[in-house]
Amino acid sequence: MPKTLPSLSDRTYPLDSHLLVLRGWCLLLLAAPLALWVGKRIHDKHDVPTWPTTQAEVQGSSLCHHTGRGTPGWCLRLAYRYQVGGTFYNSSGVDVPHLGHAGCNRSEAVMRERLARMGTGDRIEIHYHPRQHARSAAHVEPLDFGDYFFSAGAFGLFVTGAASIMQSKRLRRDEAVAEADRLRRLRQGRPGARAGESP
């Protein structure tokens, strides 16, 4: 009678502690820069609205349409001039760098409405950094779905990576205990301690 081989779905593959460690550190290395980026982004969204404000004069403004991947369709280009402590500053800062595309939106109508409030010669209120006055922002978005999504993603990567490393440590400990038990059985001369057999 022909021998029936087990199907692939019935086979089990032993875990490799080295692969678990490698996977864990890869996930942690992915989580770290993502956590730093989203942390800075959320910090700025909370921090920028607390910066001092002043009136700025719009020197020029326009809309541009982006078709690149990952960039919202319509973005505001803005140039304005403002004064702090007797010094004039020229800026094009619609948002602060870590906020990504805060000056962009997929809706052309939304951006045209925003542009209408920032026409050349208009006076707008901007936020400027309390110590670095040349840093400014004319618009800051509130926390959105992306902030929560990327925060959850960074947390998930970190937890999964840490769990993988901990699992590797437990696996190595269990392997060490099994090896110590096998050696003990060999010293005692028990038949079940032959190489390749389970204790």
Q: What is the domain range of residue 31?
A: 15-41+149-188
pLDDT value for 10: 46
Q: Are residues 31 and 84 in the same domain?
A: no
Average pLDDT over residues 136-160: 87
Which band of pLDDT confidence, cut at 50, 70 and 90, is reported for residue 13?
Answer: very low
**In-domain check, residue 194:** no
**In-domain check, residue 2:** no
Q: Is the pLDDT of residue 12 over 50?
A: no
pTM: 0.62
**In-domain check, residue 33:** yes
Q: Are residues 136 and 167 in the same domain?
A: no
- Count of domains for the chain: 2
Q: Integer distance in angstroms from the first to the last C-alpha of the chain?
A: 32
Average pLDDT over residues 40-50: 85
Q: Are residues 108 and 36 in the same domain?
A: no
Q: Are residues 55 and 133 in the same domain?
A: yes
Q: Is the pLDDT of residue 174 over 50?
A: yes
Average pLDDT over residues 18-31: 90
Q: Is the pLDDT of residue 115 over 70?
A: yes
pLDDT value for 31: 94
Which band of pLDDT confidence, cut at 50, 70 and 90, is reported for residue 11?
Answer: very low
**In-domain check, residue 134:** yes
Q: Is the pLDDT of residue 47 over 60?
A: yes
pLDDT value for 96: 62
